[in-house]
Amino acid sequence: MGPITGEQIAEKLSLTRATLRPDLAILTMSGLLEARPRVGYFHSGKFPHQIVAKKIQSLLVADIKSVPIVVSEKCSVYDAVVTMFIEDVGTLFVVKEGGLLEGVISRKDLLKTTLGGQDIQKLPVGVVMTRMPNVLFTHTEESVWSAAWKLITHEVDALPVVRKVAQPDGSDGYEVVGRLSKTNITRLFVELGEGN
């Protein structure tokens, strides 16, 4: 189908051109319609789900990340359980001096350890955490879509958001600068649904 003018659309809908102007502007800004002066409006070939997908893929982790909850590797399992409860999170990021990522500890890790009958007040989280380099992480410039894919594919609740830091020995360290969780993704989904 070829282009159609605003007047033709208004006539077909039994409305005035002025009544349609805001709706046509929204459809044009959203990318569903394209407009050419003195030619008219035509479908852009994009569908609503494609526009939503493009929007999600354009958002960066930096746009939705939250504050990380970190503990030291020397922290006891007991203190980790208390921190997880007080902060109301399901994952803690374990850091060494300088805030560099050392590991991750999840609810499951803590549950397995506490059920094992060990003295959790003396046992450091470093013994039960998942250590680097086996920790999955994201960075601020990664797309939200890509980070969400990691969460779902690897069945984890949260990812540390990191920034690469060069170490004196020439190796790379990763400073924890945020967290990306399923809650962040759900909040984004709700905000997009509200039109925000």
The values of phi and psi at residue 62, to 5°, are -55, -30
Q: Which residue in 129, 123, 76 sits closest to 103, CA to CA?
A: 129
Structure tokens at 196: 């925000």
What are the boundaries of each domain within the chain? 6-46, 62-192
Q: Which residue in 150, 154, 159 sits closest to 184, CA to CA?
A: 159
Instruction: Give me the residue label for tokens 């394209």.
Output: 34
| Residues 3, 41: Cα–Cα separation, whole Å | 5
Q: Which residue in 63, 34, 68, 72 sits closest to 51, CA to CA?
A: 34
Dump pLDDT digits (tens) for 17-70.
888 888 888 888 777 788 888 788 877 777 766 667 777 788 999 999 999 999
Q: What is the pLDDT confidence band of residue 1, given thresholds at 50, 70 and 90?
A: low
> For domain 62-192, is the CATH number 3.40.50.970?
no
Q: Are strands 138-139 and 158-166 parallel, antiparallel or unpaired?
A: parallel
| Residues 82, 71: Cα–Cα separation, whole Å | 11
Q: What's the predicted TM-score (pTM) here?
A: 0.73
What is the pLDDT at residue 196? 62
Q: Which residue in 41, 47, 28, 38 sits closest to 2, CA to CA?
A: 41
- What are the angstrom distances between the C-alpha of 57 and each of 34, 77, 118? 22, 38, 45
**Percent of the chain having pLDDT more than 90?**
52
